[in-house]
Amino acid sequence: MKKIKIILSVLILSLFIGLCGCSTDNGDENSTKLKIVTTIFPPYDFARQIGGDKAEITMLVTPGGESHAYEPTPQDITAVKNCDIFICSGGESDVWTGKILSAIGSEDIDVISMMDCVETVEEEHSEGMTEGVSVHGEETEYDEHVWTSIRNAEIISDVICRKMAEDDSENAEIYRKNADEYIKRLNELDKDYEKAVEKAKNKVLVFGDRFPFRYLCRDYGLEYYAAFPGCSTSTDVSAVTVSFLINKVRELSIPAVYYVEFSAGKVAEVISEETGAQALLFHSCHTVSKEDFENGVTYEQLMRGNLEVLERGLGVETN
């Protein structure tokens, strides 16, 4: 059903492109700045850190929007059609982007798929999870949340920088300098995560929510238990899952249990009430709230915030 919906909306949009010739009010068409369009927040921010005021960067999924059930608007298609570089995750949530790119004829657009930049792992169904329905269907999938690894963020930022420098050689030196500084800061953040994990009393995270953090856990050798897999839209958790997670928290004396942004956090709350563990937000960075977006929140800030809540969950003494 979802596939039919996507095909239909792409058909309608192709028709729209054909009919209107696409004059746009999305961005300044006459601007000579490098135009970059991204689907979700992380690559938007990477490009922004590298491009500064030299590039015009647009994010398609509106702040606070659900990136897994995204429906592109005609304005989005126009923005993609007029851009120089288009950056997507490359995962199942982004299937619509391939259809749009072939519908508009994307020979002049450089497409960066974040999943192609790094080593990927399969989406995992760990012990105790409620399976539910994945938004992406039944097949085995590679986990698309590659940006939850700071090391991956460094690699992806470097790829973006090289592509920007290639397309806009006049500002190449500026892009390189910005990217080097940015990657250095990300590297420091990665080291701070390493230090935190070294001091950890336990190395197990418990998520009373969906779990898009496989890459982050891989980087630091962390284990996890979660209510649902990576991109599950399920909200009906099974009683078996809840009692499994409660037992894990008790058995391992885990001090904090997590939920993700834009979630009601119900499962984490129940576990928290039963065990006394604190329920804390772990931000997956898929997208940010309208307010955070307007305040210019960055990936680096969100991941710094995650480090603090990680330390609480790992029982790391901070003072």
Task: Indicate the residue among 34 and 237 with the shorter CB distance to Zn ion.
Answer: 237
**Residue 13 lies near Zn ion (rule: CB under 5 A):** no
Residue 87 Cβ, how far from Zn ion at the closest point, in Å?
16
Nearer to Zn ion, 115 or 231 (CB): 231
What minimum distance in Å lies between the beta carbon of 129 and Zn ion? 15
Select 43 or 212, whichever has its Cβ closest to Zn ion.
Answer: 212
The least distance separating Zn ion from the CB of residue 31, rounded to whole angstroms, comes to 32
| Count of C-beta atoms within a 10 Å radius of residue 276 | 11
Q: Are 57 and 36 in contact (CB under 8 A)?
A: yes
Greatest C-alpha distance within the chain: 63
Residues 130-159 that bind Zn ion (CB under 5 A): none
Helical H segments across 128-262, by residue range: 150-167, 172-198, 214-220, 239-252
Q: Which of 143, 275, 140 is nearest to 208 (CA)?
A: 275
By CB under 5 A, the residues from 154 to 213 that bind Zn ion are 212
Stretches 9-17, 110-118, 150-158, 227-235: which one binds Zn ion (CB under 5 A)?
A: 227-235
Q: CB of residue 269 vs Zn ion: minimum separation in angstroms? A: 22
Q: Which residue's CB atom is positioned nearest to Zn ion?
A: 231
Among 231, 257, 268, 302, binds Zn ion (CB under 5 A): 231
Q: How far apart are CA 144 and CA 34, in angstroms?
A: 27
* Nearer residue to Zn ion within complex by CB, 263 or 275: 263
Give CA separation, 292 vs 107, 170, 203, 262, 299, in Å.
35, 32, 30, 13, 11
Q: Let me know: does 67 contact 39? Beta carbons within 8 Å.
A: yes
Residues at the site binding Zn ion, with contacts judged by CB under 5 A: 212, 231
